[in-house]
Amino acid sequence: MLFRALSLESRLRIVQLLSQRSLCVGAISNLLGISPGAVSQHLRVLKDTGLVRAERRGYFIHYTVAPDAAALCATAIESTFGSRRGSKQCATEKPYAKDKKEIKNLDKWS
């Protein structure tokens, strides 16, 4: 869900703007040149994924990047791609081969 939320350029640009300062729908709309309705829909998706939070200030709702947004992204990337830190296994090496002879035989069939 997180990757889908950030897959649209408009949403990514909204997150980039909100990482600099809090903004209301009208301000985001003017800065990006898209309709306030479209901005509201994008913000709803970003809020549902936990990347953005809203705060009412008088008549306006101001949006900011959630404090843990970077951690959410890091967790999503880690769970999708797994941890590769410290891994020294070659991408072409067969992990189930027990010795060099088996690797040689497996390469013959690849």
Residue 43 sits in a domain whose CATH number is 1.10.10.10
pLDDT in tens, 12-43: 999 999 999 999 999 999 999 999 999 999 99
Residue 44 in domain: yes
Nearest to 70 by CA among 6, 25, 24: 6
pTM over 0.85: no
Query: Total domain count for the chain?
Result: 1
- Domain containing residue 41: 2-70
Q: 76 in helix, strand or coil?
A: helix
Residue 98 in domain: no
Residue 21 in domain: yes
Other beta carbons within 10 Å of 68: 13
Residue 110 in domain: no
State the Rg of the chain over Cα.
22
If you ran DSSP here, which 8-state letter would residue 4 be given? H
Residue 83 in domain: no
